[in-house]
């Protein structure tokens, strides 16, 4: 049985979530973003450690992060096309939410469970966006591990950037 044949209509919105690379306005407004982040926060969280944090980037943030992506690219290869492409990444689509995970030593709850909880929160965010009629793209790559990008996003030494979540309306 194919995935489509197995679809129960009550689960339609889960099947509707697909990565959409080309996004345009409108994205979620401030009220909708608050609702999306509240939905993300309902993720199963063993020990209630809340090992995630979300940052909604405003235009200034995105410009700063774009410059950091370009700088990070230059440390690897300063080809003008690659630098331009790197700089464009955080500017794609009308809205970017950054997901950060922070796991701690805990007597009962290993790091991997805390990371799994943070990933569940990200998936909640993406599914909630789908439910509100928006598309999403969960992006990572080596950029999010780079010190320049981490600094531009204000990641603390014990936080891992686990996603740049682009939200918006699918471009025709």
Ligand X SMILES: Cc1cc2nc3c(=O)[nH]c(=O)nc-3n(C[C@H](O)[C@H](O)[C@H](O)COP(=O)(O)O)c2cc1C
User: Residue 74 region, left (φ>0) first, then alpha (ψ -120 to 50), else beta?
Assistant: alpha
- Does residue 12 bind ligand X (CB under 6 A)? no
Question: Which range, of 1-9, 26-34, 91-99, 136-144, touches ligand X by CB under 6 A?
Answer: 136-144
Output the furthest CA–CA distance in the chain (Å, rounded). Answer: 50
Q: Which of 7, 11, 16, 19 binds ligand X (CB under 6 A)?
A: 19
d(CA 146, CA 80): 19
d(CA 90, CA 57): 9
Q: Which of 141, 147, 170, 171 binds ligand X (CB under 6 A)?
A: 141
User: How big is the site for ligand X, counted in residues (CB under 6 A)?
Assistant: 6
- Does residue 138 bind ligand X (CB under 6 A)? yes
Cβ-contact 94, 168 below 8 angstroms: yes
- Tell the smallest beta-carbon distance from residue 75 to ligand X (Å): 19
Residue with tokens 């909640």: 124
- Tell the smallest beta-carbon distance from residue 153 to ligand X (Å): 15
Question: Which range, of 7-15, 28-36, 46-54, 135-143, touches ligand X by CB under 6 A?
Answer: 135-143
- Does residue 88 bind ligand X (CB under 6 A)? no
Q: Which residues are within 8 A (CB) of 71 and not within 5 positions of it... i.e. 6 or more apart? A: 148
Which residues bind to ligand X, rule: CB under 6 A? 18-19, 138-141
């Amino acid at each position: 049985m194919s995935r489509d044949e197995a679809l129960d209509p009550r689960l339609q919105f889960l099947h509707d979530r697909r990565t959409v690379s080309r996004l345009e306005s409108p994205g979620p407004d401030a009220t909708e973003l608050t609702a999306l982040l509240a939905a993300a926060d309902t993720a199963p969280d063993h020990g209630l450690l809340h090992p995630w944090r979300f940052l909604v980037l405003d235009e200034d943030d995105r410009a700063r992060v774009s410059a950091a992506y370009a700088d990070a690219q230059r440390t690897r290869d300063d080809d003008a096309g690659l630098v331009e492409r790197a700089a464009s990444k955080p500017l794609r689509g009308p809205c970017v939410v950054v997901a950060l995970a922070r796991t701690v030593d805990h007597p009962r709850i290993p790091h991997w469970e805390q990371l799994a909880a943070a990933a569940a929160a990200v998936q909640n965010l993406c599914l909630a966006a789908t439910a509100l009629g928006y598309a999403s793209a969960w992006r990572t790559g080596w950029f999010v591990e780079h010190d320049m990008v981490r600094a531009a996003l204000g990641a603390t030494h014990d936080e891992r950037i686990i996603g740049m979540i682009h939200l918006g309306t699918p471009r025709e």
